[in-house]
Structure 1
């Protein structure tokens, strides 16, 4: 034992070169193991063409890499959600260009006609997409994102089909007398929102337009609200509403 300590005391400096040799040996062994693994995978592929390689060695991934991958996956999902939400917003804007414009709805009345199958399909698709829209992107996992994207895509397609048909048929489904009433209503709506008209003219035009449309087109609540806001103080409280 004394001889060992004497040797260690005299040749302690050999620890450094020996450590280097041991590190080099370890690295070489690791690389050789990796090469053997790749070779086994290649042999498996040659023996089983077209098949996915079998897991020959189950190597554990460092926890740090797993955590980083989860963070990257979450970040990717959040970006994908924002893209789908932008698609959703775009279709909403296209629909609002009708819903908030009474004159435009009069030009294309089937956009709000629930007797039309294409209109019903569009409104149903909108409701489904709205129901799946998350309050926060973090609320959606990958599976929910797939469902939301599919719903928004269906919403966009359904709206496009309904809009194309509405522009094609316009008011052709109405009789000549009904089309004349629609034309009159559109002119009256233009007067109702015209700031150059007097309050009395705007109020009268608004009420006459509603009478002309009665039985022809049912304006959505949002359309009526937008129209009345444009008319502003020129009209009194809506029928059935109570003063604040």
Structure 2
């Protein structure tokens, strides 16, 4: 005991910093306790808004917003499906840009050539994506269906990108010089057939000649022929 008092007498000055440290710990613990108490009060107010005098309707609205913002338990939401459907539509529009434009198909014939593996690949991917497409975003109620549709749309988009890049790269280089001249002539004739300034006779003649030039070179999809014929017929009808 005497040794303790000797130590205390020699190091009495340590009492001041130690007191500050202990006091700081005490204040920190006290503030932490106050914060915990305040959180409990706030949670109680949210759970019992009518007792706390809060606007019940506003509290419910806040709770609904909070619930809406939480991620869907299945890993996707209706908004995700709607966005995927929009992405699907965007790729289909890019495909239709070729299908409905004979001049564009003449520039990039690979996009309609079913002998090309890349063309076959994106057409198959399109078929799969179209088959899995829901009527409405709310129709996708199972995670497995969401995964299947998402994978199909992604495969369609990627395969179309690959085919389109290759088609733009090779253009008409796979044709002979004579055949390329025929393609060039056919494109000029298609422009005349679609030209409102041309006479009805010129448009009709140009259309028939264009089909003849393309015969054996490019097999135009039925939808392409129908679109061109409809356009020419509309112009001929308007001129009468």
Unaligned runs of 5+ in 2: 1-36, 41-63
Q: Give me the TM-score of the superposition, normalised by structure 2.
A: 0.66
What is the correspondence of 1:6-155 to structure 2 with a 5 Å cutoff? 77-140=77-140, 141-155=142-156
Per-residue deviation at 1:77? 2.1
Matched residues in 1 for 2:92 and 2:186: separation? 26
Q: Give me the TM-score of the superposition, normalised by structure 1.
A: 0.65
Per-residue deviation at 1:235? 6.5
Superposition RMSD on alpha carbons, in Å?
2.7
* 8 Å Cα contact 1:77-1:142 kept in structure 2: no
CA separation of 1:174/1:214 partners in 2, compared to 1, >3 Å: closer, same or farther? same
CA separation of 1:134/1:225 partners in 2, compared to 1, >3 Å: closer, same or farther? same
1:225 is aligned to: 226
1:240 is aligned to: none
Per-residue deviation at 1:78? 1.1
2:9 is aligned to: none
* 8 Å Cα contact 2:74-2:143 kept in structure 1: no
Matched residues in 2 for 1:71 and 1:181: separation? 58
1:38 is aligned to: none
Per-residue deviation at 1:93? 1.1
Per-residue deviation at 1:226? 1.2
Per-residue deviation at 1:232? 2.0
Matched residues in 2 for 1:221 and 1:101: separation? 12
Report whether the alignment pairs 1:190 with 2:191.
yes
Per-residue deviation at 1:96? 1.0
* 8 Å Cα contact 1:91-1:156 kept in structure 2: yes
Deviations 1:97-123 (A, max 9, x none): 111110000000000000100000010
Per-residue deviation at 1:142? 2.0
In the comparison of the two structures, how many residue pairs are matched? 173
Per-residue deviation at 1:219? 0.7
1:212 is aligned to: 213
* 8 Å Cα contact 2:179-2:217 kept in structure 1: yes
Matched residues in 1 for 2:75 and 2:236: separation? 51
Per-residue deviation at 1:136? 1.9
Per-residue deviation at 1:146? 1.1
Deviations 1:197-230 (A, max 9, x none): 0110000000100000011101111111111121
* 8 Å Cα contact 1:100-1:223 kept in structure 2: yes
CA separation of 1:177/1:233 partners in 2, compared to 1, >3 Å: closer, same or farther? same
